Structure 1
Amino acid sequence: MKRFIIFCSFILLASCATNYNQSHYSVSDEYELINVGGDALELFPKSDALYASQYIPAKIVEIAWNDAYILAKQMEQTDDPNNPDASLTNQAKENYWIIDLKNNRRFGPYTKKQFDEQKQEFRISEQLQLQNVKTYFTKAKQES
Structure 2
Amino acid sequence: MTVKLSSDFIEALALMPRGAGVNDDVLKSSSPSPRNTVKIVAAMWTCGWLVFGLISIICLNGRSKAGRWVPEWYLDYSSMRWAKLGVMGWWICVLLFWPIIWLIVLFGVTGRAIKKRFAKWRESKKEREMADVIV
**Which TM-score band (shorter chain)?**
under 0.3
Normalising by structure 1, we get a TM-score of 0.26
Normalising by structure 2, we get a TM-score of 0.27
